[in-house]
Amino acid sequence: MENRIRIGASACLLGERVRYDGADKRDHYLTDTFGSFLTFVPLCPETGCGLPVPREAMRLEGEPQNPRLITISGRLDLTERMLAYCRKSVTDLEREELCGFIVKKNSPSCGLCRVRVYNRGKSAKSGRGLFAAALAGHFPLLPVEEEGRLYDMAIRENFIERVFAYRRLKELLRGRTDMGELAAFHGINRLQLMAHSPRLCREMGRLVATGQEARLEELLARYADCFMGAFYYHATVKKQRDLLLQIMGSFSKALTPAERAELLAVIRHYHARLIPLTVPLTLLRHYISRFGQDHLLEQTYLKPHPLELMLRNHG
C-alpha cells in the first residue's frame, strides 16, 4: 500500500466549487492538518451523475427508508439517475483502497445521518443521503463520518483512530494471512482494542486461540468484523484509566514508592479530567523504556495515530 493513507471525501469539503450554488465548503482541518497524512480522493455525487454547477437545490422526500431525490422548484425526480451513479461509483471506489470517507452533513446525497426528509407536508431529520447509504452498504467496515461531527474532539479522535486501524487491518488481509500472522497482529493491537471494547477484544482472542477449528477465510472475516466493530465503541475515560493501571502493573514492582505514588496520582488526575491522556501516557512510555518492556513498546495503543494530530492533548 502507499505510505500515505487514502481517504475519500465529499469534493466540496476539499475546496472544489461543486455545490448547488456554485460555492464550496472547504474544511481547513481536513485539508491542512489531517490532510498532511493523507491522499484525498474527492467525489461529488451530484456533479458525478451529470448535474451542472450551479443547479437547482434538491431534497429527500417520501419514506425515510426509501426516499426520493426531488428538485425543490422544478419537482424533477432524480432518484434513479442518482442511484445508478451510486451503484457505479461504489464499485469504482473498490480500486482506490480507501481507509475512510468523510461526507458533507445534511446533504441529500452525502449526509450520513439525520438528513431531513419531507413527507406529506412535514419534515423530519430521519434520512440518509443516497450516496452515503450506498457507500455504507457496499463497504460495511469502512470508517465513514460527517465533517460536522468531527468538530467534537471525541468523535474526531475515534474516527481517525478507526482510519489508521482499518489501514492496518487491510495490510494484514492483503496477503496470504496465516494463523501466526493473525496472532501477532492481535497481540500488538490488544491493548488498543481493550480501550474500546474489552468484550470484543476477548472474543477476538478466542477466535485466535481456537482458529484451527474453523476455516481460515471464515475466521478472518469474523475477526475483521469484530476488529472494526470494537472501534465503534469510544475509548472512555474509565476504560482508559483501567488500561493505564493495567500497563502500570507490568512494572509496578520495579518502581520506588515515590515513583508509584506519582504515577498513580497522574492517572487519577486524568480520570478526573484535570489533565489530558498524553500526560500519563508520556510517563508510562518513560517507564516502559526504562524497564525494557519491549512487548509494550510494540503496542499500537501507545501510538495509534501521528502525534502531530494532537488528538490525545485535549482534556
292: left (phi over 0), alpha (psi -120 to 50) or beta: left
Cell numbers found for residue 248:
502500570
User: What three-state secondary structure class fits 78?
Assistant: coil
pLDDT at 1: 44
**25 Cβ neighbours under 8 A, 6+ residues apart:** 10, 12, 13, 19, 104, 147
Tell me the average pLDDT of the chain: 95
| DSSP letters spanning 91-131 | HHHGGGT-S-EEE-TT-TTT--S-EEEEETTEEEEEE--HH
Indicate the burial class of 223 (C-beta count within 10 angstroms; 0-12, 13-18, 19 or more): buried
Whether 203 contacts 226, CB under 8 Å: yes
Block residue for cell numbers 475477526? 223
Residues in the chain predicted with pLDDT less than 50, given as ranges, are 1
Cis peptide before 54 (omega within 30 of 0): yes
Whether 109 contacts 69, CB under 8 Å: yes
CA dist 275 and 279 (Å) reads 7
pLDDT at 212: 66
